[in-house]
Amino acid sequence: MTIGTELLITAEPHLIPGYTGYCPQYRFRHGETYAKTTHKLLLDPTINHANTLILSNRVIDDYEAWRALKSDINVVNIRFKRTDPVFVHPMLPGYEGFIPGSIARIGQRYTVLATEGLADFERQQLRTKATLNQLRKTIDVQSGRAEPRNLEERLVRERYQ
């Protein structure tokens, strides 16, 4: 450091200005900046406080930005074309209505959470619909209302007649 910069930079540890959590004995100290006051409070052995700092030392590369997968976005947009106009990517921030699959998830941004929840719900609905269609087709082949289209359906028909 150059001469004089130590006057401008607050020594570690100190709480970040804007921190709204609890800082013991802060309200009884006056006359210095927030950073200098919290620095002294965190180093004072007469004040009871946690041994480790509440706020972690994070660097710029220490976090991940969660984004919705392209496949999830495509599922939501395809659903938008044939059903509700409310659900489209990106989701409208502040929407307070029900979003399928978003109740049990926490720790992500709203847009990512809503898109993933809606995409999972839509995939589940499509799987259920495909299973139901397959079941109806099998019932029709077994009862003779439909003609078998492949070897498997012919064997099913012969077995159940």
Rounded CA Rg of the chain:
30
Residue bearing tokens 């009871």: 48
pLDDT value at residue 10: 60
d(CA 101, CA 98): 9
Q: Domain map of the chain by residue range?
A: 1-63, 70-159
49-103 pLDDT per residue, tens? 666 666 555 555 655 666 777 888 788 777 777 776 767 777 777 777 777 777 7
For the chain, report the end-to-end CA distance as a whole number of angstroms.
91
Higher-pLDDT residue of 105, 122? 122
Q: Is pLDDT of 128 > 90?
A: yes
Higher-pLDDT residue of 132, 21? 132
- Work out the angle at residue 12's Cα, subtended by the Cα atoms of residues 6 and 15, and round it to the nearest 5 degrees: 120
pLDDT value at residue 78: 78
- Stretch 100-124: mean pLDDT, rounded? 78
pLDDT value at residue 11: 64
Q: Is pLDDT of 7 > 80?
A: no
Collapsing DSSP states into helix, strand and coil, what is residue 122?
helix
pLDDT value at residue 129: 92
Q: Is pLDDT of 24 > 90?
A: no
Q: Is pLDDT of 147 > 60?
A: yes
Q: For 110, phi and psi rounded to 5 degrees? A: -60, -45
- Paired tokens of 69: 């997968």
